[in-house]
């Protein structure tokens, strides 16, 4: 009887561990379908090595003119969904390492703040991303595109500003890291997000918004 009881306890404990592992992995694994699409595209047409890799959330994914905006640079767009920084970290081995990029530009943090992560947590997650990349790509430059201000998330501006400033400070101590400020030029003289840079949802950028990003980012790619 005692032996049977102990076996039941072990089974329950194992089940609880499996459930907990599945729950903790779920937030990152929800992008599995998109990552598989990238892998399938790579099998059909392998990208060149030594590219400048743009990755992160939908602001990258929706940058349809990326290659045309930087014609002198081999660029690759690997933005996916409404991802957060931790999602890019989770997929480093599959979404970043295979390309052996000479430079990575990450745009993420926007959704993190919108999903109630603190600025401190955003910075911690970015440090984890850098650490994970460094394990496999120790000499690749990593650029953080600052969290953008948008009319749809105007109430979160202060948290975004704090996260940007802390990441800027962190980056300043490492010459292989870059901070690209798109936050400041996307604010009007009134200190509010410039509505002319955004589409109908007031969250994602229009052509004017991407034209501004191009002008800010271009000098870092030369």
CA–CA dist 183, 73 (Å, integer): 24
Do 48 and 96 belong to one domain? yes
Do residues 209 and 182 make contact, with C-beta atoms less than 8 angstroms apart?
Answer: no
pLDDT at 95 over 70: yes
Do 2 and 64 belong to one domain? no
Do 68 and 5 belong to one domain? no
Do 42 and 114 belong to one domain? yes
What range defines the domain where residue 121 resides? 31-221
Q: What is the DSSP string of 29-97?
A: HTTHHHHHHHHHHHHHSPPPSS-EEEEESHHHHT-TTHHHHSTTS-EEEEE-TT--HHHHHHTHHHHTG
Do 14 and 45 belong to one domain? no
- Residue 81's pLDDT is 85
Do 146 and 208 belong to one domain? yes
Residue with tokens 């940058």: 63
Whose CA is closest to 51, among 112, 95, 84? 95
pLDDT in tens, 3-39: 444 444 443 343 344 334 333 344 557 899 999 999 9
pLDDT mean across residues, the chain: 90
Do 78 and 11 belong to one domain? no
What band does 2 get if pLDDT is binned at 50, 70 and 90? Answer: very low
Do 12 and 83 belong to one domain? no
pLDDT in tens, 77-94: 999 989 999 999 999 999
Do 8 and 56 belong to one domain? no
CA–CA dist 221, 52 (Å, integer): 8
Do 109 and 211 belong to one domain? yes
Q: What is the CATH number of the domain that holds 95?
A: 3.40.50.1110
């Amino acid at each position: 009887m005692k032996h049977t009881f102990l076996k039941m306890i072990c089974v329950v404990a194992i089940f609880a561990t499996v459930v907990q592992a599945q729950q903790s992995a779920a937030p990152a694994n929800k992008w599995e379908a998109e990552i598989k699409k990238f892998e399938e595209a790579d099998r059909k047409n392998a990208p060149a090595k030594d590219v400048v890799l743009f990755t992160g959330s939908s602001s990258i994914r929706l940058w349809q003119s990326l290659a045309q905006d930087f014609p002198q640079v081999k660029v690759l767009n690997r933005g996916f969904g409404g991802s957060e920084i931790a999602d890019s970290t989770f997929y480093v081995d599959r979404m970043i390492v295979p390309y052996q990029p000479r430079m990575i530009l990450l745009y993420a943090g926007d959704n993190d703040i919108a999903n109630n992560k603190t600025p401190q947590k955003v910075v911690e997650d970015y440090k984890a991303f850098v650490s994970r990349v460094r394990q496999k790509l120790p000499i690749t430059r990593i650029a953080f595109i600052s969290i953008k201000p948008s009319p749809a998330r105007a109430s979160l501006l202060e948290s975004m500003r704090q996260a940007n400033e802390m990441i800027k400070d962190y980056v300043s101590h490492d010459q292989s890291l870059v901070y690209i400020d798109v936050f400041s030029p996307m604010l009007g003289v009134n200190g509010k997000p410039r509505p002319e840079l955004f589409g109908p949802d007031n969250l994602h950028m229009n052509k004017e918004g991407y034209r501004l990003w191009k002008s800010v980012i271009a000098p870092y790619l030369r």
